Amino acid sequence: MKLTILGCYAATPRTFTNPTSQILEIKNRLFLIDCGEGTQVQLRKNKIKFSKINHIFISHLHGDHFFGLIGIVSTFTLLGRTTDLHIYGPVGIKEIILLQLRLANSWTNYSLYFHELESNDSEVVFEDEKVIVKTIPLKHRIYTNGFLFQEKPDKRKLNIDAVKSFEIEECYYQNIKNGKDIVLDDGRIIENSKLTFDPVPAKNYAFCSDTVYDETIVSLINNIDVLYHESTFLESEGLLARKTMHSTAKEAAIIALKANVKQLVLGHYSTRYENIKLFKEEAETIFPEVALADDGVVFEF
């Protein structure tokens, strides 16, 4: 997986910082997560191929997470897109986009599918042969979801030397990759583990923004590889965090610790802070593996 942070600051876009947007690349699929104003310019700056984006996930309808969506939908048309585009987000997102297309008398050249979300339980919103995406219901001032992106396990890799040494015919290779044991002509059973190598472990990534500290998400993100969790504030502004239903860096770290994730990535910093290193320092008092998102930063895992 490759995660490109297009923007990770709260509230308004500024000269050198951008509101929330990320590109997650999994097995040659590009998923766009949230889409603050200016996201399409950030895509250009980060040399992301527009045409490879087929699925856009919007956490909630606060402007710093979706005001750039209508611009991208329109730009796709100007770029001559013909591939389907799927948008996943709260109820109302379809009305906002279609109203603007209608008033501009500028319909898309491509098919636009809206998957409006309203459940308060985690649900599968996307699935193909390689990837599955589930919602992570969050607690914020308006209806909000995080998203859990999970690779499906690859098939087992054929140990070609072992297979040949047993003189197994090619027509059985697919069964072996699928994990099956093999019965030889002389009746011997060869266990699959002797004929294959373990595949690269499937990875998973959770995006959780915006949310107040909420332990109910822990069971949904247990043991995952990377958790992006919002940390709008430091504990010194803890009261403000609770009032606005955001989290502090310390609270994000507690969630990471309880969920036993491998890596915590912090983001959605309030623009009041000049030095984002303070977020890392605060979180590291609770949880050791902390990285800071910043606009243009790329994580590979």
Candidates 51, 82, 83, 106; binder of its own copies (CB under 8 A) is 106
Cβ atoms 226, 206 nearer than 8 A: yes
Candidates 40, 232, 247, 248; binder of its own copies (CB under 8 A) is 40
Bridge partners (DSSP) of residue 138 are 144
Site track 165-204 with its own copies (rule: CB under 8 A), x = hit: ----------------------------------------
Instruction: Give the tokens for residue 275.
Output: 């030095």
Stretch of 36-44, 162-170, 248-256, 272-280 lying at the interface with its own copies (CB under 8 A): 36-44
Strands (E) located in 181-284: 182-183, 189-190, 196-197, 204-208, 226-230, 263-267
Q: What is the nearest approach in angstroms of its own copies to the Cβ of residue 243?
A: 15
Strands (E) located in the chain: 2-7, 21-26, 29-35, 53-57, 85-90, 112-117, 124-127, 131-138, 144-151, 157-158, 182-183, 189-190, 196-197, 204-208, 226-230, 263-267, 290-292, 298-300
Residue 243 sits in the site that holds its own copies (CB under 8 A): no
Site track 117-156 with its own copies (rule: CB under 8 A), x = hit: ------------------------xx--------------
Site track 62-91 with its own copies (rule: CB under 8 A), x = hit: xx---xx-xx--xx--xx----------x-
Residue 44 sits in the site that holds its own copies (CB under 8 A): yes
Q: Which residues contact 193 (CB under 8 A, 6 or more apart)?
A: none
Give the residue with the Cβ less far from its own copies, 19 or 267. 19
What type of residue sits at position 64? Answer: D
Residue 15 sits in the site that holds its own copies (CB under 8 A): yes
Nearest CA-CA partner of 181 in 146, 156, 148: 156
64 classed as catalytic: yes
Stretch of 12-20, 190-198, 208-216, 280-288 lying at the interface with its own copies (CB under 8 A): 12-20
CA 266 to chain centre: 14
Residue 160 sits in the site that holds its own copies (CB under 8 A): no
- What are the DSSP calls for 226-242, one per residue? EEEEE--B-GGGHHHHH
* Distances, alpha carbon 83 to alpha carbons 26, 56, 109, 267, 285, in Å: 19, 13, 9, 32, 47
Helix then strand count (H, E) for the chain reads: 9, 18
Give the residue with the Cβ less far from its own copies, 15 or 223. 15
Give the residue with the Cβ less far from its own copies, 47 or 164. 47
Write down the catalytic residue from 34, 64, 210, 295.
64
Which residues of this protein are in contact with its own copies, per CB under 8 A?
Answer: 11-15, 37-38, 40-41, 44-45, 61-63, 67-68, 70-71, 74-75, 78-79, 90, 92, 95-96, 99-100, 103-106, 141-142
Q: Which residues are catalytic?
A: 64
